[in-house]
Amino acid sequence: MSMKATIRQVDSVTVVDVSGRITLGEGCTQLRELIRDQLSKGNKNLLLNLADVTYIDSSGIGELVSAYTGVSKQGGALKLLSLTKKVHDLLQITKLYTVFDVHDDEAKAISSFAKTTNA
């Protein structure tokens, strides 16, 4: 199963519900284009809901890092929501858990953007 994404707007935050595999090839390309597309529309507060991500590899992690730095450079913020145990463990092992702002509760995640960006 390749990656799928559904986009919804909650207040000033664009929530992206991601499912499937974020791996080298199709999954990573789709995520990269999705982030680029949202930035081009001026959507700079992005919350990636990873609850239904079944698989992520080192390239997928790299894509998350690329998205994080790309959004930050545009003056926005990219945060992560509802990590599966697999994704959580990978971010811990790679020391990236402390880099990303990770949330378990969507409402709290949404409100955290106001504090971060003063939106």
Examine residue 54 and tell whether it contacts another protein (CB under 8 A). Answer: no
State the residue for tokens 């409402």: 107
Q: State the Cα–Cα distance between residues 25 and 29, nearest whole angstrom.
A: 6
Examine residue 29 and tell whether it contacts another protein (CB under 8 A). Answer: no
Distance of closest approach, residue 102 Cβ to another protein, in angstroms? 16
Q: State the Cα–Cα distance between residues 91 and 11, nearest whole angstrom.
A: 28
Q: State the Cα–Cα distance between residues 45 and 68, nearest whole angstrom.
A: 11
Task: Output 10 or 84, the one with its CB closest to another protein.
Answer: 84
**Near another protein by CB under 8 A, which window of 8-16, 46-54, 75-83, 93-101?**
93-101
Examine residue 23 and tell whether it contacts another protein (CB under 8 A). Answer: yes
Task: Output 6 or 58, the one with its CB closest to another protein.
Answer: 58
Q: State the Cα–Cα distance between residues 14 and 25, nearest whole angstrom.
A: 24
**Nearest residue to 6 (alpha-carbon basis) of 15, 17, 21:** 17
Instruction: Give the interface with another protein as residue ranges (CB under 8 A).
Output: 23-25, 57-59, 61-63, 65-66, 68-69, 86, 90, 93-96, 99
